Structure 1
């Protein structure tokens, strides 16, 4: 579906939280095809601990919305087997941090099936997983790990920041013939016990639509500095851009939306216009998304690039204590400081 065919969120006439938008897309695809089903820990009776499957059990029953034992290797492998047989499973890995338990199934099997079979066997499955901190759940439940999954070839990686994008990306993910890792930030889901920032609750059309993979979204246009980010930090970047505007600095904010494929062209066009780049990422600083984006900017727009900075989490496990986690997390103030530094 071309970008021009995507409906306007402002014309939707209703607003949804990100969790409701995701569920709406999943329910539509399950109604369209019995090959689509959901499995994971607490996805049925509980509705997903971040409401990612809330209401699906009542509509589709336990045959198609399945709670599983606490064995990520087992149920991700089962989902892969179903995908290889022509079904389209949506498998929830409750926290992205748990990937290590099932990395053989994810990387050596899910990601490589099409390649190692010479294209004769596909794995059209969605691995849906919660990412991110800000609610004090310590080092084993608070990582984003965007760079880890994007680094491994064979999987598409998407990261929505709004309800509108969450629905469109979910439709596209379920329909895709390749495995897709769908990474949603728990802080953006609109949960009563973990309020979202301003912004992720948006207009969402009732009809199905796809957000094409590999098309970033310019959330705010500007001429002075390019801020590139994803997930929760789209909203922190927009907050920073509003503060910077009070000081006469016009920042452009780009939401990547997908990491694989990555929309390098939109980033380069912005950098060629502004001459300054700030990359913001909740993931660790080293060997990750921030470094990759800066490398692509220097490869593609070196003559236009006057200054560059990155704002990331430090290379340390995520702290449990609230004051320490707040210090660990990149803030709007950190983004403001980085933009000011590249303009000195």
Structure 2
């Protein structure tokens, strides 16, 4: 993964947190929703990652006239043989880039529901499995509302994380201009899909203490019933909280982040670092929150401050290891 990151950094300048979240999503086998204004190298970053892993890569430019069959495939009648044949769509790839995903209507976006959850597509009653590993990375633009459609809640919940990409610093922008206006840099393939699947399997062997799982459960529960969790002031701002997928994503993400940081076990900080990315797109804010300018990130920060992290998450594990040693 360090070699993959090195190759990407030859092309992409800065965006360290964004790149780390992509690696977490790859290791945890989760989908990623990327939001940022135009020109911040969202598409370039995903394209570059695809080049570093020698798997199949497909890019779909979402437009208002896109049809579900343009994504998943369809049945075509062959007049020569008088038979129907199945033509598979671009979702059959290891890495799928859904560019400007909010520019297609809901019926097109809903075509991704099955493949994002079950890694398969059903066409005319016949099920087709997509290649493994399979990862969807979708980009969207937050500042344009003309010609865009809100993502269905069922689809938003299938994204493991929503990452916000910000502007580069002045120093980074200086390097960006030099790099783009100079000789073009290219990234080489340094890993294949078999290595990637082996890394994913190794990552899943990381230890997550039950205290950390309980901490994740409490954080997600606070988004559903803030009054019960001692946060009555947040109740008017939340219409719906996060689903159990959020809890699962927190644990899988914390384990992957710990793996990237060189540890076979997760710590509370690994989980805390990912809480905003995992929860921000899953909270449905009330009209009162929107009218007062309250954001999902601000509510998540209040929840993090109110729900204490476990002070000794590996204490029980250490005690059991000591007992076995004796």
TM category, shorter: 0.3 to 0.5
TM-score normalized with structure 1 length: 0.38
Higher relative contact order, structure no. (Cα contacts within 8 Å, ≥ 6 residues apart): 2
TM-score normalized with structure 2 length: 0.39
Structure of larger gyration radius: 2
Larger fraction in helix: 2
